[in-house]
């Protein structure tokens, strides 16, 4: 009885090691990197939502002329602080943060006072954490920037500060 080297058993088990490298490469390229980009877009959305909440809170406390001012605390100072030392430093912001402040009348109470409601619409364009090079497709959040528009409103703390 002769025993041959290189029997079929060795060939069957050795082929999996040659497929490991390409399999890991495909797994990284088509699963792990898009997952990291989608998670970074979720974090960016949460950070942009926090920015909008801070803006609408500040707009409900100050007079309408200060809130609508382009160089005021709501439209300029809060986004700058958010981008430099707040949660905005974890977001790859493309361009400037755009904010629109608007006022409307709320419910009238029995003594003739009408509530004022302030609304802030914030638009932020964010770039993905690791842009995946796809030559044919420009997919927002994977290899292209994604734009978030967040709208929220809040009653004014002092209705006299609202826009007449």
Q: In which domain, by residue range, is 146 found?
A: 18-161
Outline where 30-163 has alpha helix (H).
33-59, 64-68, 78-84
Report the number of distinct structural domains present in the chain: 1
- 7 in any annotated domain: no
- 67 in any annotated domain: yes
- 8 in any annotated domain: no
CB atoms under 10 Å from CB of 43, counted, come to 14
- 3 in any annotated domain: no
- 1 in any annotated domain: no
Which pLDDT tens digit goes with each residue over 8-36? 555 555 566 778 888 888 888 788 888 99
- 109 in any annotated domain: yes
Which pLDDT tens digit goes with each residue over 79-109? 999 999 989 999 999 999 999 999 998 887 7
CB atoms under 10 Å from CB of 83, counted, come to 18
- 11 in any annotated domain: no
- 13 in any annotated domain: no
């Amino acid at each position: 009885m002769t025993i041959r080297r290189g029997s079929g058993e060795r060939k069957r088990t050795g082929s999996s090691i040659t497929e490991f490298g390409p399999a890991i490469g495909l797994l990284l390229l088509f699963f792990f990197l898009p997952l990291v980009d989608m998670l970074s877009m979720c974090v960016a959305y949460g950070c942009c939502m926090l920015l909008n909440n801070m803006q609408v809170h500040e707009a409900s406390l100050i007079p309408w002329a200060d809130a609508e001012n382009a160089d005021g605390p709501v439209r300029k100072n809060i986004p700058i602080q958010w981008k430099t030392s707040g949660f905005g430093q974890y977001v790859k912001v493309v361009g400037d943060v755009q904010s629109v402040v608007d006022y409307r009348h709320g419910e009238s109470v029995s003594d003739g006072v009408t509530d004022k409601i302030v609304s802030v619409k914030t638009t932020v364009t964010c770039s993905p954490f690791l842009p995946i090079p796809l030559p044919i497709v420009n997919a927002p959040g994977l290899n292209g920037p994604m734009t978030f528009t967040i709208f929220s409103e809040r009653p004014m703390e002092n209705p006299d500060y609202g826009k007449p």
